Chain A
Amino acid sequence: MHNSNKKLQQEIIRISGVNPKKCMRCGKCTATCPAFDEMEYHPHQFVAMVEDGDIEPLLKSESLYRCLTCFACVDRCPRNVEPAKLVEAVRLTVIRQKDANHLKADDIPAMLDEDIPQQALVSAFRKYAK
């Protein structure tokens, strides 16, 4: 495995908290995926490719943005692998690689809407802030 890939792989595993080795290749995630037809790489392939360190194609794939984050795969997986979290982690890696701080704390008051849940703000920082 290429060194930079190894680093990316470790990063994705760290961000997601997913252990792709737990996967037993049953394919229930892909069977359950409502966005299957839209996706170039399917949930089970995400898991297998991260396990293999085959990260580059995932970073470039449109699939990242086709995943609905419905968590059906997470719910159904018999081995608790949580593929959607892996997709999310790859997405984050792409955003972070773009090397810009998309969200500053100072911007928040202007955008604040009392209907926004606190959790959404935290989540936005996780995704878009360096």
Chain B
Amino acid sequence: MQRIGVFVCWCGSNIAGTVDVQAVSDALKNEPGVVFSANYQYMCSQAGQNLIKEAIAEHRLTGIVVCSCSPRMHEATFRKTAAAAGINPYMVEIANIREQCSWVHKDMLTGTEKAIILGKAAVAKVNLNTPLTPGESPVTKRALVIGGGIAGIQTALDIADAGFPVDIVETKPTIGGKMAQLDKTFPTLDCAACILTPKMVDVAQNENIRIFSYSEVTAVKGFVGNFDVTIKKKARYVNEDVCTGCGACVEKCPMKKVPNEFNLNMDNRTAIYIPFAQAVPKVATIDPMHCNMLKNGKCGVCSKVCAAGAIDYKQQDQYIEEKYGAIVVATGFNPISMDKFDEYAYNQSKDVITSLEFERLTNAAGPTAGKLLRPSDHKHPHTIVFVQCVGSRCSACAEKGKEYCSKICCMYTAKHAMLTRDKYPDTEVYVFYIDVRTPGKNFDEFYRRAVEEYGVHYIKGMVGKVSPEGDKLKVQASDLLNNKQLHIDADLVVLAAAIEPDKSARPLATMLTASMDTNDFFTEAHPKLRPVESPTAGVFLSGACQGPKDIPETVSQASAAASKVISLLVKDKLTGNPCVASSDELMCNGCSSCERVCPYGAITYVDKEFRMPNRTIAIRRVAQVNPAVCQGCGACTVACPSGAMDLKGFANNQIVAEVDAICK
């Protein structure tokens, strides 16, 4: 029989205002098992906690019930109090008589009645509580960062800086991501490459960081602290360890008409290629779709010119198995396809481009060596129209576009407009906007400068259609503030396309059992208070995979994710939650129902020997729960047809006892 103490909190007038706390403590005194009952103004205060500790010692209590606020608020506090006084922290139950009682009732009589009932339920549960001890699991002190853009780079550098080994897995042949394609960065106009490439070099030189480029994650097993990950290193037909990145092969490759994806197909590359001069790792890759040698065995020029002998046409995909303690997702974003936006004539005219294409057109390492030239005829454009919100802020029921604001477009469009006017004062630059959204340090000042100092025409309204006529683009737009329809003969139209998560994110989320929203952005554990953690323990989020973000925000989040990873990896052991499922092997019928419903993969089946009557032995298939993986959701306890599966701390008999106490 338990010896239970009941402690009723007034919470100032929060509870005592609508609940007669004295009546509650008096009523609960007579419940079975209760040997002590008291009430106090602030139970969570030092004095209140001392009252609990003294009562535990004086009345030799084995369990306590605190009638107070929600357990989310102070369950941990009172568990610590109990532990300090020498009783198991899982012998504490909280009856929530604030959020679920005093705050929702106005009448003292009903409030008090309900508080007593909630207290009785908690007492009934404590009578069946058993002391629980959390399990421990070891931590593999290595982190995996999936994605090698600026988010992944920053996260990896920070984790490595704390002394832990990190692996970056990047699907492209080089790290660098979208930032490597940008020209300048707002609002300071630093050259993107100038600030990114030193970081890429740091990554390459850091002893704690390994880069798996041209690779992808194909399987993830395990749980926080103990992930088993399979990485597929795609065959690049070049021996990475031998290639010096000299570029002789690239120079001599006869297949020179391959669309160059790094320049968004606005120029060509060779079949063997290094994406850009500062690529990390600076190693050539053969594109098997276009290489003559790989397609029909006729060529082999690169192999002949390679002084290092790095070319290996027989290279195969390689699978690497590695263990990690933590996984950071940094899969980033892409601009959406413009195929559905026929009104802007993107597919009809080469001179209608997206903003990312504009970045390449103004980048010194881009297809035009930094000169702004029309893609169609390589002439200098004089009238340039920027269209914002293309595919952003669309209705959820619209056939095309995204419902959210892509967040970065207002600023990069202001940057493009400003830089165009700065470099080419003979241009007329129009920006059509719905709203200009520039919250951020020095952001609005930046946009105003584009208008006031650089004379960019900002027009409140949208472009309705773009029609190519001769060498002009007829732009028909609205000017809402002047209630006019404008007709502009433009030379170049730039579309600020909405951004969306990378397509690899969804299958990755499935592998990680990490949750996503309807737009395929990863969901954070708490939108305000745990923004860089996924709800799945041990999985962290960095950069635009969680939502649209600019570079400063991405870098801050990347460092935040790294600090969360570090605080996980410094631990030698992880203390689990003891409220996990466990199976009664004698009752288990081996049906696999629990295994099928478990969202965490915590349940496995084993064949086990059981002693039977007359010294016989039977082998039966029974469920076993891995307590380190189990999150205590209880799905298996509901699915189990034989009643073998039960949740510690929330056992079926405890729940039934609570219900009985309430209905009595």
Which A residues have a C-beta under 8 Å from some C-beta of B?
22, 24-33, 36-37, 42, 44-45, 72, 76-80
Asked whether A37 lies within 8 Å of B394 as measured between CB atoms, the reply is: no
For A25, the chain B residues whose CB sits under 8 A away are 434, 480
**Measured CA separation A113–B349 after assembly (Å):** 45
- B478 beta carbon closer than 8 Å to chain A: yes
Partner of B464 from the list A31, A37, A45, A80 (CB cut-off 8 Å) is A31
Asked whether A37 lies within 8 Å of B485 as measured between CB atoms, the reply is: yes
**Measured CA separation A32–B460 after assembly (Å):** 15
- B389 beta carbon closer than 8 Å to chain A: yes
Q: Interface extent on B, as a size class? A: 20 to 34
**Measured CA separation A77–B476 after assembly (Å):** 15
For A32, the chain B residues whose CB sits under 8 A away are 343, 464-465, 476
- Determine how close the nearest CB of chain B comes to the CB of A114; give it in whole angstroms: 35
Partner of B394 from the list A42, A44, A72, A78 (CB cut-off 8 Å) is A78
Asked whether B461 lies within 8 Å of A24 as measured between CB atoms, the reply is: no
For B575, the chain A residues whose CB sits under 8 A away are none
For A78, the chain B residues whose CB sits under 8 A away are 389, 393-395, 398, 401
For A72, the chain B residues whose CB sits under 8 A away are 464
Asked whether B480 lies within 8 Å of A27 as measured between CB atoms, the reply is: yes
For B465, the chain A residues whose CB sits under 8 A away are 31-32, 76
**Measured CA separation A30–B395 after assembly (Å):** 18
For A33, the chain B residues whose CB sits under 8 A away are 464, 485
Question: In the complex, what residue of chain A is closest to B461 when comparing beta carbons?
Answer: A27
Which of A25, A32, A72 has the most B CB atoms < 10 Å from its CB? A32
Contact with A along B397-436 (1 / 0, CB 8 A): 1100100000000000000000000000000000000100
Asked whether B461 lies within 8 Å of A30 as measured between CB atoms, the reply is: yes
Asked whether B478 lies within 8 Å of A27 as measured between CB atoms, the reply is: yes
Jot down 10 A-B pairs with beta carbons below 8 A, ordered by A: A27-B478, A28-B462, A28-B464, A31-B465, A31-B478, A32-B476, A33-B464, A42-B483, A79-B393, A80-B397
How many pairs, one residue from A and one from B, have CB atoms within 8 Å of each other in the complex? 67
For B397, the chain A residues whose CB sits under 8 A away are 80
Closest 5 CB pairs of A and B: A32-B464, A31-B464, A28-B462, A31-B478, A27-B478
**Measured CA separation A33–B464 after assembly (Å):** 8
Asked whether A26 lies within 8 Å of B464 as measured between CB atoms, the reply is: no
* A42-B483, A76-B464, A78-B401 as given contacts; A28 in contact with B395, CB under 8 Å: no
**Measured CA separation A27–B401 after assembly (Å):** 17
Asked whether A80 lies within 8 Å of B343 as measured between CB atoms, the reply is: no
Contact with A along B374-390 (1 / 0, CB 8 A): 00000000000000010
Partner of A80 from the list B395, B434, B461 (CB cut-off 8 Å) is B395
- B166 beta carbon closer than 8 Å to chain A: no
**Measured CA separation A77–B485 after assembly (Å):** 16
Which of A28, A32, A76 has the most B CB atoms < 10 Å from its CB? A28
- B463 beta carbon closer than 8 Å to chain A: yes
Asked whether B462 lies within 8 Å of A26 as measured between CB atoms, the reply is: yes
Asked whether B485 lies within 8 Å of A30 as measured between CB atoms, the reply is: yes
Question: In the complex, what residue of chain B is closest to A72 when comparing beta carbons?
Answer: B464
- Determine how close the nearest CB of chain A comes to the CB of B224; give it in whole angstroms: 42
**Measured CA separation A31–B483 after assembly (Å):** 10
- Determine how close the nearest CB of chain B comes to the CB of A39; give it in whole angstroms: 10
Partner of B485 from the list A22, A24, A36 (CB cut-off 8 Å) is A36
Asked whether B434 lies within 8 Å of A26 as measured between CB atoms, the reply is: yes
